[in-house]
Amino acid sequence: MTFPFLADLEPWAQATLGLLLLAVLAFSARLILQGLLTRVFTRLAVRLQTGWVGMLLNNRLPQRLAQVVPSLVVQVGIVAVPYLPQNAVTVIRNVAVALTVLHLLRVLYAVLDAVRDGYESTDNSQGGQRRSVKSFIQLGKLLLGLLGGIVIVAALIDRSPLILLSGLGAMSAVLMLVFKDTILSFTAGVQLTSNDLLRVGDWIEMPQVGADGSVIDIALHTVKVQNWDMTITSIPTWRLMSESYKNWRGMSQSGGRRIKRSLRLDVASVHFLDDSEIRRLARIELLRPYLEEKMLHLTQTNAGLRRKLGDQSAEPANLRRLTNIGTFRAYVGAYLKANANIRQDMTLMVRTLEPTSEGIPLELYCFTATTAWAIYEGIQGDIFDHLLAILPEFGLKLYQHPSGNDIRLGLWGGAQDLARA
C-alpha cells in the first residue's frame, strides 16, 4: 500500500500525512465493522431466540471486536508510510501488536462474562438455588490476563514471549508466594463446587468470622454473606474448606424446621393424681383416649397387685398410679399430633430430661410444616404460649429463680408473721 499523491511534498510532510491517513483509515474501518457486527448480532438474537446472543450483546462483544481492527490496520499499513524511520516503524508496529492483544483479551473477557450471565440466568429461570461459576470465570480472566500481559510486554520490548516465560520459571518460588491466597482459594472453590457444599442463596453460620446469613456471592478470593442484620461479611474462600461452618440448605429442602425447646418444671409441683383430678382431666378431649387406656391398664394391674399383696395393697405406694407430669407429657404429645402446623412424617416426641438444679426439663422435639423464619417463630410461640397457660390445669409450675422482689416480699411476709406471733 503506497500513497503516490504525496510524492510532491517534503519527506517529513509525506510521513506526517501518511500517518494521519493511516489513522483515519483505521478509525473508519472500526466504525464500519462495528456497525456491521452490531446488526448481525441483533438479527441473530431475534432469529435464533437464544439468550446467549443477547448476553454477548449486553457485554458489548461487537464493539470490542471492532476495536481490534484499527491496530491490525496499523500493523499492515505502517510499512506504506513514506520516509518513516525504521525505528519508528518498529515502535509503532510493536505498540499496535500490544493493542491488538489487549483488545483480544477484552473480547475474551466479554465472552467469559456472557457465559457467567447466561449460566446464572438459566439457573434463575429454573428456580431454586444455584452453583456459582464466578470463581472459575475470575480464574480464567486471571490466567488470560497473565498470558496477555506477558505477550504485551514482549511486544513492547521487541522480544520473544518465551524469554519472559523462562524468566518467570526462575521466579516460580516468588510467584507461588505472591499467588498463595489465589491458589488456595481456587482449590477451595473447586472443592466447594464439585462437592456441592455451597451455593448462592444458602444460609450458613460461621461464628468464628461473625457470619450468619445468606450467601450472596461466591468469587475467586471471597465469599460474601449477607447477615440477618443486613451487614455483609466477606470470608476468604479457602477458610470455608479449612474451618467448619453450618449450612442450613438441608433444612430448607426438607420442608420442615426443627423445634427443640424445653419447659423447666418445678420439682415440688410433681405429684400423683387423685380420682377427682383424673375425672377433671378426662374432660379434656385430647387426653380422654390416653386416660381411658391408662385407667383400664392400671385397674387390671392394681387388681393383680391387690390379690398378690393382700393387706399391703392398702399402702398407696404399692399400687400403680398416674402422675401429673406424665399426664402432661401425654397431653403435649397429643397436642402436637393434632396441630396442623407440625410435620407428622418427621421426628415428633416429648421427653423428660435429667432433673437439674433448675427444675425438670420437659423437651419438645418436632418439626414445623414450614421453613419460613417468621412463620416458624409464630408457630413455636403459639405452642409454648398454650402450654404455659395450661400448666396449672395439671397442678404443675414452672421453675423460676427468685428475683429481688420475690426475696423482699418473702422477708416482709416473714416479718409480719413474726410480729403477729
> How close are the terminal C-alpha atoms of the chain, in Å?
127
Q: What pLDDT is stored for residue 253 in this prediction? A: 85
Contact present, 189 and 220 (Cβ < 8 Å): yes
Contact present, 128 and 153 (Cβ < 8 Å): no
How would you class 42 by CB atoms within 10 Å of its CB: exposed for 0-12, middle for 13-18, buried for 19 or more? middle
199 forms beta bridges with: none
Q: What are the tens digits of pLDDT across the range 103-152?
A: 899 888 888 888 877 776 765 555 555 566 777 787 788 888 888 888 88
Cα–Cα distance for residue pair 109/115, rounded to 1 Å: 10
Domain locations in the chain as residue ranges: 1-127, 129-253, 258-404
Q: What are the tens digits of pLDDT across the range 27-56?
A: 888 888 888 888 887 777 666 666 666 677
Cα–Cα distance for residue pair 248/81, rounded to 1 Å: 68
Sheet of strand 349-352, all strands in order from the earlier edge strand to the far edge: 257-265, 360-368, 349-352
Fold of 258-404: Alpha-Beta Plaits (3.30.70)
Give the mean model confidence (pLDDT) for residues 237-250. 88
pTM score above 0.95: no
Contact present, 320 and 332 (Cβ < 8 Å): no
More confident call, 267 vs 37: 267
246 forms beta bridges with: 205
How would you class 329 by CB atoms within 10 Å of its CB: exposed for 0-12, middle for 13-18, buried for 19 or more? middle
Q: What pLDDT is stored for residue 329 in this prediction? A: 95
- Which range, 146-150, 151-155, 202-206, 217-221, has the best average confidence (pLDDT)? 202-206
Same fold, 129-253 and 258-404: no
5: pLDDT strictly greater than 60: no
Nearest to 202 by CA among 252, 240, 236, 155: 252
224-233, 248-257, 326-335, 376-385: segment of lowest average pLDDT: 248-257
Over pLDDT 70: what percentage of the chain?
83
Cα–Cα distance for residue pair 117/109, rounded to 1 Å: 12
CA distances (Å), 289 to each of 280, 330, 392, in order? 14, 10, 21
Specify the residue for cell string 395393697. Answer: 313
Give the mean model confidence (pLDDT) for residues 322-346. 95
Q: What pLDDT is stored for residue 285 in this prediction? A: 93
11-25, 98-112, 212-226, 362-376: segment of lowest average pLDDT: 11-25
Which numeric CATH code is attached to 129-253? 2.30.30.60
Average confidence score pLDDT of the chain? 83
Three cell numbers at 396? 404443675
Three cell numbers at 329? 407429657
Q: What pLDDT is stored for residue 415 in this prediction? A: 47
418: pLDDT strictly greater than 80: no
More confident call, 306 vs 381: 381
How would you class 364 by CB atoms within 10 Å of its CB: exposed for 0-12, middle for 13-18, buried for 19 or more? buried
Give the up-direction half-sphere exposure of residue 293: CA atoms within 13 A in the CB hemisphere. 7
192: pLDDT strictly greater than 90: no
